[in-house]
Structure 1
Amino acid sequence: MVLLSLLMVSALSYASTQGVVISQVYGGNGVTFNRDYVELFNASSQPVSIAGWSIQYSSATGTGLFSANGITALTGTLQPGQYYLVGLATSANGAALPMVDATGTTNMSGTAGKVVLVNSSAGLTCNGSSSPCNASQQAQIVDLVGYGTANYFETQAAPAITSSTALLRANNGCVDTNNNSADFSTGSPMPRNTASPVSVCGAPANQAMLLSCQALNVNVGEAGNVQATASDADSVVNNVNAVSGLVNGITLSNIISANQEGDSASVTVNTDGTLAAGTYPVVLQFSNDDAQSASCTVNVTVQAPASVTRIFDIQGSGLGVSSVSPLNGTSVVTEGIVTAKLPGISGFFLQDETGDANALTSDGIFVFGSAALPSVNVGDKIRLNSNVNEFNTVTQLVSPSNIQVLSSGNP
């Protein structure tokens, strides 16, 4: 690492192969969080013991020494990709930090300062500027971060922070070019400790989950369901929950975790037929055993019933110049009771349930379409979409679709 001082000290350098770096600096205790903190990170591929090490601090441009601002002792061993949280000066305001791994009392500046990670617990009687660090002291500095107007740093100072921002080392702590300005940016503080998920530098990135959330379309008064799935090639999808959208009338069921990597997890989204017409987005969040999560949306659309045209209105009175249906050539939604199935002529007869008591209009009609025959039985009351057509002067319905059985066993 290269250490530079702007005042009274020439450029200095030393090599460090210990792999633990300062990954975050936050000095705004009492605003976002109730404590200042320094986060450490093991960017190497080997465990590193930090027992007997310390965090030390000096103001950006003052004459105070690193040894004069409180020495925070460290303990333990960091595994590759593991974080370590050092809690410092406290305040009555702000959110509590996650469980800290080491505790000190140093009150760091929320804008500019100098932080060193030292491989001993002895205070450094230098500050890198008005009191230069000699070769022996430099050899104890594992990492240095100067930020804001600091006059001691690696190559160039990191940007200044505010009471609500922190310094964040790039790529979750993996970037170390020996240039504080290049290695750090400012952002919202996100303290991590030894219990946080590890982030091993150079490890292959986890593959994204593949989600499938199909829409569910039903009519008013109609129940329905649809299945949503998620899979992950390199992890096991083991949980799903609804982030939003579970209003009365919509439920989840049949939640099944994947058995192994690459298998699908699934969940069924149900509607019970009590929803009013409208669209209801249900946001599902799947998660896996690598602490990843991903979301997709099942749009439940409840359609208002189409206007039903009665059979006698389709037939018309037959009076006038022509007996052709007044609705010939149009598409209609109608309903009635199936009175006969005639596979030989590819259709069935449909009778209006009550009729209109008008001798000039027919209450029955022939529905032509062999594909529809398996969907209905004699005695079924059905609703269907169809086209009005004239065949040899007889009005009929052709191309039936969207057949719904409303009830069965009718006389």
Structure 2
Amino acid sequence: MRRIRSARPARRLGAAWIGLAVLAVLSVLAPSASALVVHSARGRSFGVTLHRDTTATSVPGSVAAAHAAQLSRQVAGQPGGDTGTLTWHNGPVIHSSTPYLVFWTPSGESIDPSTQGLLSHYFTDVAADSTQASNVYAVARQYYDQSGFADYRQSFDPGTQVITDTAPYPSPDPSGACAGSIAATCLSDGQLSAELARLVAADGLPDDGASSSELPGGAPVYVIVLPSDVDVCLTSSVCASTTFCSYHSGSASPPYLLYAAIPLYPVLQDPKACQFDGQTAVQEPNQSVADVALRNLSHEQVEMVTDPMFTGWWDPLSGNEQADNCNAYGPFDPANGTNPDAFTPVLGGDPSLGTAYNQVINGDHYYLQSEWSNGDSACDMAPALPPWRRASAFPRVPSPPAAR
């Protein structure tokens, strides 16, 4: 993903997080629906999925804009330009995960029960098909760290892992992070992460440990869903109402907490801004606005698995993480996140009627984006298995390097 820096000085963090800003080489010619990593005033990193037609270079403070000329020369100097290949940056991946679905809805706010129900059911389906090679999550297994593969192993119990948080929203953040929001109610990411930390402590929920080089088995990942009238901003000019669809991040110091923010504001206000598939109709195979939110959710979940600490797998030319190479329909251009197979093949339904689906997970239909595979340099909806491997669950991948 592309990186941007805040104009305010960042406080010192661990080397694993600082290295991201120092080492990344960023692409700059992003058309619609690209992605970037934002560095906050506190030095934290965020993997952000942008709205359609929002470019990385248009975001104030982006490293992509500051280094446009330099990066153009670097990419131009590569044979064939950026091929989209992700490389490992010596950090951890997630080997198994335990997702928690958090609906932050204080008094006076609500999320439709049918939306909550579909999101919860989706997590149940994804967990039920864990270890299978039949959907987008399985594409991630080819990526690894020193301990093993980024495995598709999720466990989910809706009785304990669906949480309704009724704590009131805080007063406007005095940092001015919400200054650019067009919504009546706005939260800063600082407020979001502070509430998550409070909730985890109050409810005795698990965290992701104290190590920035290895995450625990069954690593908890928190997916925070906000109502459709609530905005969330990373900086005064980077908000869900104006700029992005969703993002993932983590706390800057141990004990770590990995999380994704899924605001429903952009999904309701302009769903095609977050479902850039080349179709006019909004695809809702389950007849719910949550169908669009699930595309954002799967994007962030996969990237949390393969790049949880921003030291995992990303393209050193563009800075893209795994899902970013397949972010939008368009010509094959991984640096800018477009691919003709970003939302194909369609398995059923009618795209002209908004009923198309391209994933069958635990027997249920969903419309998600594809995920980048280094193995075949393509955007895949499931692992591309060679004929001699089709009896096994996953394709052959290189062995992780030995720990030093």
- The interval holding the TM-score normalised by the smaller chain is under 0.3
Structure 2-normalised TM-score?
0.22
Bigger Rg, which one: 1
- More helix by proportion, 1 or 2? 2
RCO comparison, higher one (Cα < 8 Å, 6+) = 2
- More strand by proportion, 1 or 2? 1
Structure 1-normalised TM-score?
0.21
